[in-house]
Structure 1
Amino acid sequence: MSLLSLRGVRKAYGANVVLDDFDLDVDEGSCVVLIGASGSGKSTLLRCVNLLETVDDGVISLNGVDITDPRADADKIRSGIGVVFQSYNLFPHLSVLDNVTLAPIRVHRVRRDVARARALEVLDRVGLADKASAKPDELSGGQQQRAAIARALVNSPALMLLDEITSALDPELVGEVLDLLRDLRSDGITMLICTHEMAFAREVADQVCFLHHGRPLEIGPPDQLFGNPREPRTREFLSRIRQREG
């Protein structure tokens, strides 16, 4: 059963069409990875799913509910979606624990003691239990990104959206974040991920979607898409990535 379904989604900025008649299904408990060149529409797709952008046409359904309906409660919908961007967006004056509990307490009106107990569970889950009282600038980049993931997980979202979350990290810190995503994948958390990390995509994805000019040009299991892509443009993209990686 599809937890997330997109049908005929279109998004344009003036004459620039970023998403064009986009169809995609993300099954509950699965991991779908979006790949493609910069400007192919990956980040815009995630922003549309989280209702940070309004689609021009088409329907996005979450748990069978049309979330693109103008009457939909955007705040309620967003509360069931965890989002992590490449920028950590942690408040520097707050401790890690306070960063993670801020939305549950202020937005969702969770009691402070309940929110703190849940946050400590999640921080332990991401390997930061000993950093709960630290400020963000006392953490490495990888730890800051794990704190951002903890913040997204604290409300037990039905869906996680992750947008190039390793791109701002030094190479030696990428591994610790990818290890965490592997763990989340094994826990059955539904994830839609944009990444340039092809080896990671091949390892964790149930389906890989290659975007080209705002369309899902090719969708398939990672062994097929990386090992025997059907579309010439997919082969060209992957060949260029391999050459760049040496």
Structure 2
Amino acid sequence: MSAVLELTGIRKSFGATPVLRGIDLELAEHEVVALIGPSGSGKSTLLRTINLLEPIDDGRILLRGEDISDPRVAVDRVRARFGVVFQHFNLFPHLSVLDNVTLAARKVHRVPRARAEERGLELLDRIGLAEKAREHPDRLSGGQQQRVAIARALHTDPEVLLLDEITSALDPLLVGDVLELVRELAAEGTTILMATHEMAFARDVAHRVVFLDGGVIVEQGPAAALFANPREPATREYLRRFSAG
């Protein structure tokens, strides 16, 4: 499988505090990689640097061979190649569900409204929310809003889908529907890099799991193997504590 995303020596500090301390990582076409690790390990910051929401201090980020960490790069053009879903849904409350889903396609990609809405309705139908297309987000549950956020990210056919702890703000009863949608996307071959605290989901859905701690990659490997037999003491301790919790 060819590499879609290549990170080399990524470093990022906030003031005097180092957050990423030399991250090397590749993501192949159609691969699902789960980032796990304690809070503050750098997972969210790493995703934000990939999407150019945070500038890196050192290293290179290549998207299909293009150096998107070059300061001369057209940031909006690069961001349009990613789909991003955050912990909080970030839907526009004054827009309908359909307008939220189609906004980027219409405003950034200049897709005609009729074509954008046709695609948007297809996505909403797929996630079981077609009847909510004309509603505003505050009429939806948290789980429904997060599924709408995923549909919005998918509308522009992104090369990589970045998911940042997308279930952490949800009521536990609503988590399952969101994870099932991601499971379906993974099965269809969507290229996904996700930060998650859902260990069972990471084990069952990801092709590869990457354990971060203190801004470095401590260990990575095939999901089943890493969960069954982690090599590094820090990984074993984290998984033990997580299971105990």
What amino acid maps onto 1:139 in structure 2?
L
Q: Distance in 2 between matches of 1:62 and 1:236?
A: 34
Equivalent position of 1:35 in the other structure: 36
Equivalent position of 2:201 in the other structure: 200
Partner SS, residue 148 of structure 1: helix
Q: Distance in 1 between matches of 2:126 and 2:78?
A: 25
Q: Distance in 2 between matches of 1:129 and 1:141?
A: 16
**Is the Cα contact below 8 Å between 2:204 and 2:224 reproduced in 1?**
no
1:97 aligned onto 2:114 = no
How far 1:209 moved relative to its partner? 0.2
CA RMSD in angstroms, aligned pairs only: 0.8
Q: Runs of at least 4 residues of structure 1 off by over 6 A?
A: none
Q: Distance in 1 between matches of 2:128 and 2:185?
A: 12
Partner SS, residue 60 of structure 2: strand
Q: Distance in 2 between matches of 1:131 and 1:188?
A: 27
What amino acid maps onto 1:144 in structure 2?
Q
Q: Distance in 2 between matches of 1:221 and 1:45?
A: 20
Written as runs of structure 1 = structure 2, the 5 A alignment for 1:1-246 is: 1-244=2-245
Moved more, 128-137 or 184-193: 128-137
Q: Distance in 2 between matches of 1:164 and 1:225?
A: 20
Structure 1, residues 170-225: CA drift from partner, whole Å, max 9, x if none? 01100000000000001100000000000000010000000011011101011111
Q: What is the number of residues matched between the two proteins?
A: 244
Partner SS, residue 183 of structure 1: helix
Listed as ranges, the gaps of 5+ residues in structure 2 are none
TM-score where L is the length of structure 1: 0.97
Partner SS, residue 208 of structure 1: strand
Moved more, 41-50 or 70-79: 70-79
How far 1:107 moved relative to its partner? 2.2
Listed as ranges, the gaps of 5+ residues in structure 1 are none
